[in-house]
Amino acid sequence: MSELMPLIESLDFSTRRVLLLGDLVLDRLVFGTTRRISREAPIPVVQYVGESSAPGGAANAAANLASLGAKVSVAGFIGDDERGEELLNRLQDLGVETQLVLRVEGRPTTVKTRVLAGGAGTVRQQVLRLDHEPKGRPSAEASKALAVSVREAASDYHALVLSDYGYGAVDPALAVGLSTKPVIVDSRMQLGSFGAAHTLKPNLSELEHVAGRDLLSDEEIARAAQDLRQRSGAEAVLVTLGRHGMLLAEASGLKQVPVFGDDEVADVTGAGDSVLAAYALSIASGFQRFDAARVATIAGAVAVGHHGTHAVKLGELQQALLHEC
């Protein structure tokens, strides 16, 4: 990794413009302390201390793109509700352009609430997650309006990021329509459908879902990654493997991307969004895929060192790499 230091020291993403289309989520963190087990059920009683909120899902990827210095526009759906307004305010505070976000009447903003609690003097741990999700997919009219606005805006950007959490904002056909731009895709359920993508970025469980089986060895993972690349028509597949780093599958072969850091993990929430943002920005800046993946591993290592979603800054990448060297 030391050979990346001169490159990262000179990085300036401020001239890069990225359009992100995805499923927008508001992440809420509720903090508390635990002193006893409930007499009503074998669960901890959490004494409320406070709460905070941050962009989540695709909105967290947008927050990471912005915190790394890029000019970012986000497209997706929110509800015509208080939580949607809160999410827009959080994004705008970070400098993210939100003109392409569509409010959908009668459809709630997706909210994921995580309760973090612990005893006095101990590190708080996540004890509960409560999801407030829309029922069903957006209407055909809303989906068409979003797709049209993205297609019309795409020529103004250096790269397009598709962040698909399965709530209906991402249409795989957009990857084909925007094939002149690098299209980086992170998708929970539709990985095999993004045929014109520059890179598909599954984690292991998502790759297993596409393969239709458990992948129990390095050889099986490698074979499944190449199978996905060939069947989808994507140029590359980048599989994130947690503490085992990443695997990059290209037509020229396979490359193992080593993990960065010392395996200290506070919270993996949103780390995949940080990896996605750093990789996409590196690609938009002209990096080769392998070097972009190595930058992304640093972003992931920084993200998991924080509780809750964390928008990684370029200075944190530089500091982390300097510490490692």
> Cα–Cα distances in Å, from 127 out to 26, 299, 325?
19, 26, 36
The burial of 274, by beta-carbon neighbours within 10 Å (0-12 exposed, 13-18 middle, 19 or more buried), is given as buried
Of the candidates 80, 164, 273, 291, the residue annotated as catalytic is: 273
* Measured distance CA(181)–CA(159) in Å, rounded: 6
Instruction: Please check whether residue 286 is in contact with residue 245, taking contact to mean a CB–CB distance below 8 angstroms.
Output: no
Is residue 291 part of the annotated active site? The answer reads no
Q: Which residues are catalytic?
A: 273
